[in-house]
Structure 1
Amino acid sequence: MPSGNPPRYDELSALYLNCTLKPSPETSNTDGLIERSTAVMRAGGVRTEVIRPVDRDLAVGVQPDMTEHGAASDGWPELYAKVMAADILVLCGPIWLGDNSSVMKHTVERLYSNSAGLNDAGQSAYYGRVGGCLITGNEDGLKHCAMNILYSLQHIGFAIPPQADAGWIGEAGPGPSYLEPGSGGPENDFTNRNTTFAAWNLMHLAALLKRAGGIPTYGNQRPEWDAGCRFDAPNPEHRS
């Protein structure tokens, strides 16, 4: 058994976006796995919140506020404020036809819509935050879905810790989903281990970044690059 007391991360908050296709209050199997992860986070002192984007009237598009581009309404600006208030973002969802749900893809598109923004240091707005994912389903595609989500998060500026994904899939073919009797999902040791490791690694990295003041500000500031600073990059016009 580990010696000493577990770390406390009371200064951190985590936002879980459950990209289920089911609006509240319908039962979401993904919520079952999310609850396992949030329980670990809460044990570490982290404040958690779970939101279903399908409940939030998110307009289609890749602009920060689609009401400025013809949409009658857009719930994204309010949800984006919650993303920016959190230290940890966990994108969660089901597998459909071996891929992420349409709500997951829509949510990633809306995250991307704000990726041109900058923080006070001139870095991409999402710098200093960490991201991970949780996947459920009763068909193949878990690693494919996680790969797509984690790539997307790091591309727009989130830091990804080791083993930042976890999930559960049942046997091939139709069968019980995660929360249904006989699925074996909540008892699956592999899933429970990976969910726990992902939660702690997300907390560890988020705390390291927060306590360090974020990602160091050299070599990653867009305004400085646009002003001519090249951060020691070789000049292609001066080749040996």
Structure 2
Amino acid sequence: MKALMINCTLKQSPEPSNTEALARVVVEQLEKEGVDVDAVRAVDLDIAPGVTSEAVRDGDAWPHVHDKLLDSEILVIASPTWLGRPSSVAQKVLERMDAMLSETDDEGRPVAYNRVAGVVVTGNEDGAHHVISEISGALADLGYTIPGQAWTYWHLGPGPGPNHLDDERGREWSHRTGRAMAANLTAVARAPTERPVGAPPG
């Protein structure tokens, strides 16, 4: 089984990413569950704006990411919170994924069917549940299954404050929730191997 984690931080490599640090807890648990995990930091790639899976222009990196999506049973979108909303990078990723609404497999199912997804959120302001609901809602629209408690987040309340990597407070809960998230994603991802969701009725 394979998973793809797309980190939608605004920080380019090799700058440390708080979002990646929390997502790494989920990744490590997925690996303990026997899942092969690939990670992408989207801001490092030349992803053009658009709503198509094909290259928008020369050098557009999205088709390669799209291939990774189709090769994975599990998707984790990780985003910081800015102004109480998902990052602009997360929005760009979701907009490119919009094209998956019209893509089907050989049996006529939307390509996101029989795949599961979850969300990781960090930020030194409130709004984590809003970000989780926005991203989860978009992924469910595409056809991904969102298991119960398929998320984790870290923040220390509204207003400016320290980052995840700078403060131990709240980490134990976020990490424990992240491990539960990974276990839930893996368990639900295995179910369609025995009883896959079929194509929608005509």
Give me the TM-score of the superposition, normalised by structure 1.
Answer: 0.80
- Structure 1 Cα separation of the partners of residues 159 and 138 of structure 2: 29
2:111 counterpart residue number: 125
Pairing 1:131-142 to 2, within 5 Å after superposition: 131-142=117-128
2:129 counterpart residue number: 143
1:109 aligns with 2:98: no
CA offsets, 1:204-237, max 9 Å, x none?
Answer: 010111233x2134xx05xxx2xxxxxxxxxxxx
1:233 counterpart residue number: none
Amino acid at match of 2:22: L
Bigger Rg over Cα: 1
2:44 to 49, 55, 70: 55
1:33 to 22, 35, 50: 22
2:65 counterpart residue number: 79
Amino acid at match of 1:172: P
Unaligned runs of 5+ in 1: 1-11, 226-240
- Structure 2 Cα separation of the partners of residues 16 and 185 of structure 1: 22
Give me the TM-score of the superposition, normalised by structure 2.
Answer: 0.95
User: Which one has the bigger helix percentage?
Assistant: 2
1:198 aligns with 2:181: yes
CA offsets, 1:168-204, max 9 Å, x none?
Answer: 1124322210011x34243x32x22321221111000
1:216 to 190, 194, 198: 198
Q: CA RMSD in A?
A: 1.4
Give yes or no for contact 1:179–1:185 (8 Å, CA) kept in 2.
no
CA offsets, 1:114-144, max 9 Å, x none?
Answer: 3201011101111111111000001010000
- Structure 2 Cα separation of the partners of residues 54 and 211 of structure 1: 37
2:142 counterpart residue number: 156
Poorly superposed stretches of 4+, deviation over 4 Å: none
Q: Answer 1 or 2: higher relative contact order, Cα 8 Å, separation at least 6.
A: 2
Unaligned runs of 5+ in 2: none
